[in-house]
Chain A
Amino acid sequence: MKLIQAEKGKLVFHLGKREEHLLRAVLRHYPLIPAAHQPLSKSIKTTANKADQRLLDEALAEQRKDNQRLLEKLLNDPQRFKETEAGCRLTLSGADVEWLLQVLNDVRIGSWIALGSPDKDLGELEWNEETAPQILAMEMSGNFQMTLLEALQRPGAT
Chain B
Amino acid sequence: MAQTATPEAVPDIGQEEETRPRSGLEPGFLVICWNDPVNFMDYVTHVFQIVFAWPRQKAEFHMLQVHNQGKSVLARESMEKAEHYVHQLQKYSLHATMERDE
Q: Report A's interface with B, CB cutoff 8 A.
A: 33, 38-44, 52, 56, 59-60, 63, 98, 101-102, 105-106, 108-109, 112, 118-121, 138, 142, 145-146, 149, 152
Residue among B37, B39, B43, B97 making CB contact with A39, cutoff 8 Å: B97
Question: Which residues of B lie under 8 Å from residue A120 when comparing CB positions?
Answer: 37
Query: 15 other contacts beyond A105-B43, A106-B93, A145-B40, with CB at 8 A cut-off?
Result: A38-B90, A39-B97, A42-B97, A56-B90, A60-B87, A101-B46, A101-B92, A109-B39, A119-B37, A121-B2, A121-B37, A142-B2, A142-B40, A146-B4, A149-B43
Q: List 16 A-B contacts (CB under 8 A).
A: A38-B95, A40-B98, A42-B97, A43-B100, A44-B98, A56-B83, A59-B87, A98-B50, A108-B93, A109-B39, A120-B37, A138-B38, A145-B40, A146-B4, A146-B42, A149-B40
Residue from A41, A102, A108, A149 in contact with B91 in the complex, judged by beta carbons closer than 8 Å: A102
Distance of A43 Cα from B40 Cα, bound (Å): 26
- Of the four ranges (under 10, 10 to 19, 20 to 34, 35 or more), the interface on chain B belongs to 20 to 34
User: Chain A at the B interface: mostly helix, strand, loop or mixed?
Assistant: helix
Complex CA distance for A7 and B77, rounded to whole angstroms: 37
Task: Classify the interface of chain B: helix, strand, loop or mixed.
Answer: mixed
B16 at the interface (CB under 8 A from A): no
Q: Is B18 an interface residue (CB 8 A)?
A: no
Residue from B42, B95, B98 with most neighbouring chain A CB atoms (10 Å):
B98
**Roughly how many angstroms separate A20 CA and B4 CA in the complex, as a whole number?**
24
In angstroms, Cα B90 to Cα A60, docked, is 8
**Cα distance A112–B46 when bound, in Å?**
21
Whether A43 and B46, one on each chain, are in contact in the complex, defined by CB atoms closer than 8 angstroms, is no
B86 at the interface (CB under 8 A from A): yes
User: For the complex, is B17 an interface residue (Cβ under 8 Å from A)?
Assistant: no
Q: Which residue of A lies closest to B34 (CB)?
A: A42
CB of B97 within 8 A of CB of A40, answer yes
Q: Is the CB of B40 within 8 A of A109?
A: no
- Say how far A26's CB is from chain B's closest CB, in angstroms: 15
